[in-house]
Amino acid sequence: MSEKKDFLRLKVEEDLQAGKYNKVITRFPPEPNGFPHIGHAKSICINFGIAEDYEGFCNLRMDDTNPTKEDTKYVEALKDAVQWLGFNWGDKVHFTSDYFPKLYEYAIQLIKMGKAYVDSINEEEMREFRGTVKEAGKRSIYANRSIEENLELFEKMKNGEFKDGEHVLRAKIDMSAANMKLRDPLLYRIRHAHHFRTNDDWCIYPMYDFAHCLSDYLEGVSHSICTLEFENNRDIYNWVLDTLGLELPRPYQHEFARLGINYTVMSKRKLLELVQGGQVSGWDDPRMPTIAGYKRRGYTKESILNFCDQIGIAKANSMVDVAQLEFCIRDDLNKKVPRVMCVLDPLKVTIENYEGSEEIDASYYPHDVPKEGSRKIPFSKEIFIEKDDFCENLPKGYFRLTPTQPVRLRHGFIITCKEVIKDSNGNIIEIKAQYHPNSKSGEDTSGIKVKSAIQWVSSKDAKQIEVRLYDRLFKDEAPEGLEDINPNSLKVIKDALIEPAVITQKPDTRFQFERQGYFYADPIDYSDEKPVFNKIVGLKDSWAKKSVSKENAKQEPKKEVRKEQVVGSETPMNDEQKELFEKYTNELKLNSEVANILARDEKLSSFYEEVLKELNSPISIANIVVTEVARVLKEKQIDELKFNSKQIAQLVKMLDDETISNKIAKEVFEEMSKIGENPITIVEQKGLVQISDPAIILPIIEEIIAKNPDNLEKYKAGNKKLLGFFVGQVLKNTGGKANPKVVNELVGLKLQ
């Protein structure tokens, strides 16, 4: 846990210190009437996270009190989401239906106390009698029924002697209460419907406000944590438990702000409409904000957890920029996935002065990613490049191939255009080119200067794949319904071409297609015969500087997006923010999401500028400031921080010098936040210096290989993915202190 605790954890600690509870027990109580979405991920992280932090446990409980909407498939989707995010609910999944007999007994108890009655007015009358915020309500005449009559009617309701809606059970509280939730709320209603667990045993079902608090009590829950929309329901929660006089300890409800994300709908009702209406392929459509959708699209659990950690826990509702979630997945994948070449819109290039074929050695990872791995890329006379990587008329700032401008083939040679071949309609269908034999990447002695490198594939060796280009499902920042769906949210390319190693060697399931974005082998539709890849996210925020054409702007002026208005921001940037944004993106080369966060937050940008004065490492500093420092600055002023800009610069310097790893840097930062100690001192005192000495690492590698003979055999038989297993074991064994680059290299040598 970080030193700066949110208000929920502070409450938990207060209760523990006061001896209110012996053990912290939370619960995650979704209704199984749809697939869980990103908002549920936040709730999962809070409830399971708090339980873990205080050595308690969290129950997974299905709130299955509405048989007309619930289904076993939703139960399984909820279980899968919790497991995928890395949380454990123990031996048993709880269901509210487990407590139906006991809840019925509690309802009988309230009737006998004169605190509940069977009402027989219709819904329209009930709404009319409820009153308004300014006017007291009017109690139903049926509230005067005797206890005996209420008991008899309630039993008949249970026995199925009445139709749906003919009667309800209501609490007798206060029809003039300022909190309208207390104006004789419903406790039970009749539903003649088949329940997926209790079958037809029951035809009356408890309402949420009655079942929820009592289920918490029966499970021994200490802290019932829910979203802010249930704040007014807290009075009913307390009324039921207090009126029944249940034995202590009893649970108490605490609320936090629910997650709202722009360009996204979080209503399960609206999401169900999309599924049933065929606007998406299902609950796991990669455009859906469901956990299943993110999972199928290729998001990692680490990116979701990091996003939930970054947005924090607040008491007031607010809108989060979807670009922040996209930043989290880019940030995670950037350090993990292989880089490969794929051509989405092929244009044939014939290299006239080249004969035969060869293989070019190329690393899967850039120098700043601490992973090892390479492949051989076939090169031949006929290749394909992206159509938009050739331009016949050289525009300003265009650095790719033109009739007068050579370009480098990524990892390969420099080529020069010699002739442009067109069809009868004037469309370019082929480029005749020459290559420069002495210009091979890494061995270039040609002296030719080029300003960019483009991706390409060999015509005879490339593999054809289907690529699904996903974009945001809604085009409006605050979507209302189907009318706001983005018509370009999915584009399918059936004939994209990719270098063969991706398909034949399968070095991973997630890749960065260079200059295109991050992609994931679809876990359902992918096959060796028909490879299918989903676009996870672009390399940078393609929405950040989109502008609407004048024609469209005239038609929809309220939906205009100015160039300086980064997507997701509620207001355009002011002049000072725009100037910072331009500086950060153009001069310091920060990506647009990071630049947007810094430019819009005065405290954050001020701190960032101070660190820059200490160390010229803008990208590394920005990454730590927007992720780690930002969390602390949410609730503190700069002069309240226990660390300063100089110390952050020292931390980044150790990271840049590979004295410590990224994992250790996070640990050191947490310690700095708590005690304000110099990071160099923390690293020295705790022995956190990154281990790069092969003499220390090799014995650990040998021991791990010796303990895993089966995996060693599988690796030698061709399962090269197990390299990651051995590397991971070494890093785990050293507490994350071993240098990943060194470990990768040494493990690779030892496994040969």
- pLDDT for residue 415: 98
- Could you tell me if 123 and 165 are in contact, meaning their C-beta atoms sit under 8 angstroms apart? yes
Q: Which of 239, 259, 279 is a domain's end point?
A: 259
pLDDT in tens, 578-598: 888 888 988 888 877 788 889
Note whether residue 526 is domain-resident.
no
pLDDT band for 128, please (50, 70, 90 cuts): very high
What is the Cα–Cα distance from 527 to 719, expressed in whole angstroms? 18
Peptide bond into 249 cis (omega under 30): yes
Asked if residue 623 has pLDDT above 80, the reply is yes
Q: Is the peptide bond before 709 cis (omega within 30 degrees of 0)?
A: no
2 band by pLDDT with thresholds 50, 70 and 90:
very low
The sheet with strand 168-171 has its strands ordered as 116-119, 168-171, 186-190, 204-206
Q: Are residues 299 and 351 in the same domain?
A: no
Question: Based on the structure, what is the number of domains in the chain?
Answer: 6
User: Bridge-partner residues for 605, per DSSP?
Assistant: none
pLDDT digits (tens, 9 = 90+) for 392-445: 988 888 999 999 999 999 999 999 999 999 999 999 999 999 999 999 999 999
Asked if 223 and 94 sit in the same domain, the reply is: yes
Q: Count other Cβ atoms within 10 Å, centred on residue 176.
A: 12
State how far the Cα of 250 lies from the Cα of 383, in Å rounded to an integer.
71
118's tokens: 């069977």
Q: Are strands 517-521 and 510-513 parallel, antiparallel or unpaired?
A: antiparallel
Question: How sure is the predictor about 548, in pLDDT bands with cuts at 50, 70 and 90?
Answer: very low
What is the tens place of the pLDDT at every residue in 351-366?
999 999 999 999 999 8
Residue 107 belongs to some domain of the structure: no
pLDDT at 718 over 50: yes
Query: Distance between CA 286 and CA 297 in Å, rounded?
Result: 5
At 104 the three-state DSSP class reads: helix
As a whole-number percent, the residues of the chain with pLDDT over 90 amount to 70
- Identify the pLDDT of residue 157: 98
Query: How far is Cα 476 from Cα 213, in angstroms, rounded to an integer?
Result: 38
- Same structural domain for residues 618 and 746? no
- Which alpha helices (H) appear in 389-494, and where do they start and end? none
Domain co-membership, 158 together with 51: no
Residue 375's Cβ-side half-sphere holds a number of Cα atoms within 13 Å equal to 20
User: Does one domain contain both 193 and 251?
Assistant: no
Q: Are 216 and 251 in contact (CB under 8 A)?
A: yes
If asked whether residues 555 and 417 sit together in one domain, one would say no
Tokens, residue 459? 């015509």
**H or E stretch including 647?**
helix 645-656
Tell me the average pLDDT across 205-211.
97
Q: What is the DSSP letter of 628?
A: I
Q: Is residue 676 part of a domain?
A: yes
* φ, ψ for residue 535, nearest 5 deg: -75, 120
Look up residue 452 and give its DSSP letter: -
Q: Do 61 and 25 contact (CB within 8 A), yes or no?
A: no
195 pLDDT tier (thresholds 50, 70, 90): very high
Cα–Cα distance between 89 and 42 in angstroms, integer? 16
Q: Are residues 662 and 606 in the same domain?
A: yes
Question: How confident is residue 572, by pLDDT bands cut at 50, 70 and 90?
Answer: low
Q: Is the pLDDT of residue 562 over 80?
A: no
Nearest to 666 by CA among 611, 616, 704, 628: 628
Asked if 437 and 430 count as a contact pair (C-beta separation under 8 A), the reply is no
Read off the amino acid at residue 590. Answer: L
| Exposed / middle / buried, residue 490 (Cβ in 10 Å: 0-12, 13-18, 19+) | middle
Residue 713 — very low, low, confident or very high, per pLDDT cuts 50/70/90? confident
539 within domain boundaries: no
pLDDT digits (tens, 9 = 90+) for 630-679: 888 877 777 788 899 999 999 999 888 888 877 788 888 988 888 888 89
- Residue 418: give its domain's CATH number: 2.40.240.10
Specify the pLDDT at position 545: 47
Distance, in Å, from the CA atom of 414 to the CA atom of 78, rounded to the nearest integer, reads: 53
Distance CA 292, CA 135 (A): 46
Here the tokens at position 396 are: 């300003």
Please tell me the predicted confidence (pLDDT) of residue 435.
Answer: 97
Name the packing angle between helices 301-311 and 322-334 (round to 10°): 130
725: tokens are 């297993």
Tell me the two tokens of residue 71.
Answer: 């289904």
- Pairing mode, strands 168-171 and 186-190: antiparallel
Partners of residue 10 on adjacent β-strands: none
356/449 same-domain check: yes
Confidence of residue 564 (pLDDT cuts 50, 70, 90): very low
**Backbone angles phi and psi of 255, in degrees to 5:** -115, 150
The answer to whether position 395 is within a domain reads: yes
Q: Helix, strand or coil for residue 180? A: helix
Residues in the chain: 752
More confident residue, 696 or 549: 696
Q: Binning pLDDT at 50, 70 and 90, where does residue 542 land?
A: low
Report the distance separating Cα 440 and Cα 415, nearest Å.
10
User: Which CATH number fits the domain that encloses residue 300?
Assistant: 1.10.1160.10
Task: Evaluate whether residue 466 is within a structural domain.
Answer: no
Tokens 């983005």 belong to 486
Amino acid at residue number 429: I
What integer is the mean pLDDT of 591-619?
88
Contact 497, 457 (CB under 8 A): yes
Average pLDDT over residues 299-311: 94
Token output for 401? 């191939």
Predicted TM-score (pTM) of the model is 0.75
- Please identify every residue annotated as catalytic: 31, 258, 268
The pLDDT of 67-89, averaged and rounded, is 96
From CA 213, how far away is CA 171, in angstroms rounded? Answer: 14
The DSSP element (H or E) to which 463 belongs, if any, is: strand 463-470
Q: Is residue 324 part of a domain?
A: yes
Q: Are residues 63 and 172 in the same domain?
A: no
Residue 508 maps to a domain: no
**CATH classification of the domain holding 130:** 3.90.800.10
**Based on the domain organization, do 355 and 407 belong to the same domain?**
yes
CATH number at residue 245: 3.40.50.620
Query: What is the per-residue pLDDT for 603?
Result: 87
Same domain, 678 and 698: no
The domain of 127 spans: 116-206
- On whether both 90 and 122 belong to a single domain, the answer is no
Buried b / exposed e along 704-731 (16+ C-beta atoms within 10 A): bbeebeebbeebeeeeeebbbbbbebbb
Mean pLDDT score of the chain: 90
Q: 570 and 622 in contact (C-beta within 8 Å)?
A: no
User: Residue 567 pLDDT > 90, yes or no?
Assistant: no
